[in-house]
Amino acid sequence: MALEKAKIVTITSVKGGTGKTTTLLNLAGILSTQKKKVLILDLDLYAGAIAPFLNIANDPDIYSLVDDIGSNRFEKIDSYLVKYNDYIDVIPAPKDPRNASKINSKYISVVLSKIIYRYDFILIDTNHFLNPITLVALDASDQILYIINNDPLDLKNMATRVSIHKDMEQENYQIILNESITGRDYFSKVDIKNIIKNNIDFIIPKSFHTKNIDKYILDGKIPILNNKHKKTISTFKNMIALLEKR
Ligand SMILES: Nc1ncnc2c1ncn2[C@@H]1O[C@H](COP(=O)(O)OP(=O)(O)O)[C@@H](O)[C@H]1O
Ligand SMILES: [Mg+2]
């Protein structure tokens, strides 16, 4: 059990499919090699991908947890944590997506309070909608990681999000340009910085594109622990060093 409060890190984006879930799992993988205890909370409630990706059960899930808390059936958190390995536990998104809309955002902070002293890191996966659930996660986070792609719509929406953070004088966000999903390559780094009006804090390099990534998913394996791409590992280690400071 960690003696200090876990660092809460939310991984989000302003467009779908930018590589949030993959990045979160790789981050968890590197943290586990550093013997850090990690809880992954899957708040991509309608299309949770963590449990299927890791080949673990999604029963119990966040819905059963929240439902039990709301109806005073909750006893202890242990029975709601799904173990992936010695370092990584998961609270999966609802097994039945019809339960997603029944989860009231007010319970998310209650859930966080029950796990905050048990882990070194709580990594929260989200979808790209700024819904009440994601908002609660962002408010509770020590750091927010935005995963962006080299794509005009994504960058323009990111500029809007950056301006919101600046208006609110929030500085606890990092912008990660994910180049490992191939396809678009419109803008230079300077262009990107000019469009989003912010620095790019980290880059997941193109050379980390993993052709057989679907095989890892089918086998429940964390990509970075199998495709041990040096440059990407070093990016993640730098990211972790920064997260630990805040
Ligand atoms: N390094 C990579 N190499 C190849 N494909 C990748 C890589 N990272 C992500 N992908 C693929 O890109 C797609 C979107 O990634 P995902 O992590 O699910 O994004 P999001 O969670 O933002 O929707 C998935 O099909 C995933 O397998
Ligand atoms: Mg995802």
Rounded distance, CA 87 to CA 30, Å? 11
Residue 3 confidence (pLDDT):
73
The protein residue whose alpha carbon is closest to atom 1 in ligand 1 is 209
Domain assignment present for 55: yes
Is residue 2 in a domain?
A: no
Atom of ligand 1 nearest to the CA of 13: 22
- Would the CB of 18 count as within 6 Å of ligand 1? yes
In a domain, 1, yes or no: no
The answer to whether position 162 is within a domain reads yes
End-to-end CA distance of the chain: 20
Residue ID of nearest Cα to ligand 1 atom 7: 181
Q: How many CA atoms lie within 13 A of 106 on its CB side?
A: 3
Whether 180 lines ligand 1, by a CB cut-off of 6 Å, is yes
pLDDT tens per residue, the chain (246 residues)? 457 899 999 999 999 999 999 999 999 999 999 999 999 999 999 999 999 999 999 999 999 999 999 999 999 999 999 999 999 999 999 999 999 999 999 999 999 999 999 999 999 999 999 999 999 999 999 999 999 999 999 999 999 999 999 999 999 999 999 999 976 788 999 999 999 999 999 999 999 999 999 999 889 999 999 999 999 999 999 999 999 986
Nearest ligand to the C-alpha atom of residue 176: 1
Give the whole-angstrom CA distance, residue 143 versus residue 203.
17
Q: How far is CA 77 from CA 20, 90, 112, 119, in A?
A: 26, 12, 11, 13
**Total domains in the fold of the chain:** 1
208 lines ligand 1 (CB under 6 A): yes
Domain enclosing residue 38, as ranges: 7-245
Predicted confidence at residue 16, as pLDDT, reads: 94
Looking up residue 114, the CATH number of its domain turns out to be 3.40.50.300
Position 231 in a domain: yes
DSSP at 219: H
CB 123 within 8 A of CB 22: no
Which atom of ligand 1 lies nearest, measured to the CA of 18?
22
In a domain, 181, yes or no: yes
* Residue 90 in domain: yes
